[in-house]
């Protein structure tokens, strides 16, 4: 699949020194956390990536930068998707919030915070959305014990 926009993006981001690739028809960019917000701003304003699809994370327990925060965007003009990967360390798992750019980002960042404990700097509403108040830990991290239950109602036996 050849997408004209991908060549433009590839040229643009290679000049900026970022690693890029095309994977299964999705344009992939690997960034440092500091580059995330300006890059997304650029994608939104210059390349019409107007839909924020998802933010999630990947846990690599053996890597020095343990978490890979993955954003997906879609352009309803060009009908293509872009994936942005950012690596953060376990000691400070923080990336910038995209709430100023995309209104829907708030909910997805809350979920990602629930499941992986990623902190989205600037998002002051990271209350649990799928989990409940009082839940300790982040269940989709690899070191969360598989059978560890945190019941809200005491068990009868």
Residues that bind another protein (CB under 8 A): 130-132, 135, 139, 144, 146-157
To another protein, the closest distance from the beta carbon of 117 in angstroms equals 14
Q: Which is nearer to another protein, 91 or 148 (CB)?
A: 148
Residue 6 · residue 22 · CB < 8 Å: yes
To another protein, the closest distance from the beta carbon of 138 in angstroms equals 10
Backbone torsions φ then ψ of 35, nearest 5 degrees: -85, -10
To another protein, the closest distance from the beta carbon of 111 in angstroms equals 13
To another protein, the closest distance from the beta carbon of 105 in angstroms equals 23
To another protein, the closest distance from the beta carbon of 119 in angstroms equals 20
Q: Which is nearer to another protein, 1 or 152 (CB)?
A: 152
Nearest to 132 by CA among 108, 114, 146, 120: 114
CA dihedral (92, 12, 25, 72) positive or negative: positive
Q: Which is nearer to another protein, 79 or 156 (CB)?
A: 156
Q: Which is nearer to another protein, 91 or 157 (CB)?
A: 157
Residue 75 burial class via C-beta count within 10 angstroms: exposed 0-12, middle 13-18, buried 19 and up: middle
Q: Which is nearer to another protein, 24 or 156 (CB)?
A: 156
Residue 109 burial class via C-beta count within 10 angstroms: exposed 0-12, middle 13-18, buried 19 and up: buried
C-alpha 106/C-alpha 17 separation (Å) is 30
């Amino acid at each position: 699949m050849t997408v004209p926009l991908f060549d433009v993006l590839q040229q643009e981001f290679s000049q900026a020194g970022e690693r890029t690739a095309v994977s299964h028809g999705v344009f992939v960019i690997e960034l440092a956390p500091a580059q995330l917000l300006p890059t997304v701003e650029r994608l939104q304003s210059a390349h019409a990536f107007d839909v924020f699809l998802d933010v999630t994370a990947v846990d690599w327990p053996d890597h020095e930068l343990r978490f890979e925060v993955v954003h997906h965007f879609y352009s309803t003009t060009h009908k293509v998707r872009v994936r942005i990967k950012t690596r953060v360390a376990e000691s400070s798992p923080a990336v910038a919030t995209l709430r100023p750019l995309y209104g829907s980002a708030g909910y997805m960042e809350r979920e990602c915070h629930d499941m992986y404990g990623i902190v989205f700097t600037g998002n002051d509403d990271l209350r649990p959305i799928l989990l409940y108040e009082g839940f300790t830990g982040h269940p989709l991290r690899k070191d969360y014990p598989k059978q560890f239950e945190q019941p809200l109602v005491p068990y009868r036996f």
